[in-house]
Copies of this chain bind each other. A is one copy, B any other.
Amino acid sequence: MQLPSALLEQAVNEFSKLPGIGKKTALRLVLHLLKQEPEKVEAFGEAIVRMRNETHFCQRCFNISDSLLCTICANPMRRQDTVCVVETIRDVIAIESTQQFNGTYHVLGGIISPLDGIGPDQLHIEPLLKRAAGGAITEIIFALNPTIQGDTTIYYIQKKLQPSHIRITTIARGIAFGGELEYADEMTLARSLQHRMPVEQLKV
């Protein structure tokens, strides 16, 4: 694609570095910005740069934060004794949007995946163990994606936590609401049979 302006081309190149954005989409976005008021485009550029430069990771849970502690850790209404362990910030946002969890989080920053060269040391596992050793935590809920790597990560951390009186749980696995048995994989179906639950619990 030949572009008539070097500056335009540079902006298109920058946009097309983003995941899922090809050259054509990038051009569409850039031409859209070209039609906006200069102040609006400046606000756009500034918001992105500030977001990168001025956000931190929460000292306690590694969630993204504007200050030392994230809004969840700093909230006295949230239970500090219940910690939900997740892989990414995106998972925090997903769980928060259910409005069903009133504890705090711990963002690992990934899962143990030797094939991708990610071992325990690359993750925020050590700070989690320290938090647990502090004695204020009564339950750790693992909310990792149900894959072999996810299970390995849970197993590894659980081992490290022993001996301890902390209750260690994982989110329920089974057939998703609205899902169809016919299309469920064998592993999921087998586990959902194995962990069958009393019908009374279905009440919403």
Residues of A within 8 A of B (CB): 1-8, 10-11, 13-14, 17-21, 25, 27-34, 36, 38, 41-55, 58, 63-66, 70-72, 88-90, 92-93, 96-97
Q: A7 is contacted by which of B4, B42, B50 (Cβ under 8 Å)?
A: B50
CB neighbours of A45 from chain B (8 A): 44-46, 48-49
- Other than A1-B97, A4-B65, A19-B32, give 7 A-B pairs with Cβ distance below 8 A: A3-B93, A14-B43, A14-B48, A30-B51, A41-B49, A42-B52, A45-B46
Q: A64 near B34 (CB under 8 angstroms)? A: yes
Q: Closest approach, in angstroms, between the C-beta of A130 and any C-beta of chain B?
A: 21
Q: List 11 A-B contacts (CB under 8 A).
A: A4-B70, A5-B65, A5-B70, A8-B55, A11-B50, A19-B28, A30-B51, A33-B52, A38-B53, A41-B53, A45-B46
Ranked 9 nearest A-B pairs via Cβ: A45-B45, A11-B51, A41-B52, A45-B49, A14-B47, A14-B44, A7-B51, A10-B47, A11-B47
CB neighbours of A65 from chain B (8 A): 4-5
Q: How many copies does the complex hold?
A: 2
CB neighbours of A66 from chain B (8 A): 5-7
Q: Closest approach, in angstroms, between the C-beta of A25 and any C-beta of chain B?
A: 7
CB neighbours of A13 from chain B (8 A): 47
Q: Which B-chain residue is minimally distant from A94 (CB atoms)?
A: B1
Q: B70 near A52 (CB under 8 angstroms)? A: no
Known: A89-B4, A89-B31. A11 touches B48 (CB 8 A): yes
A45 to B32, CA, bound (A): 15
CB neighbours of A4 from chain B (8 A): 58, 63-65, 70-72, 89, 92-93, 96
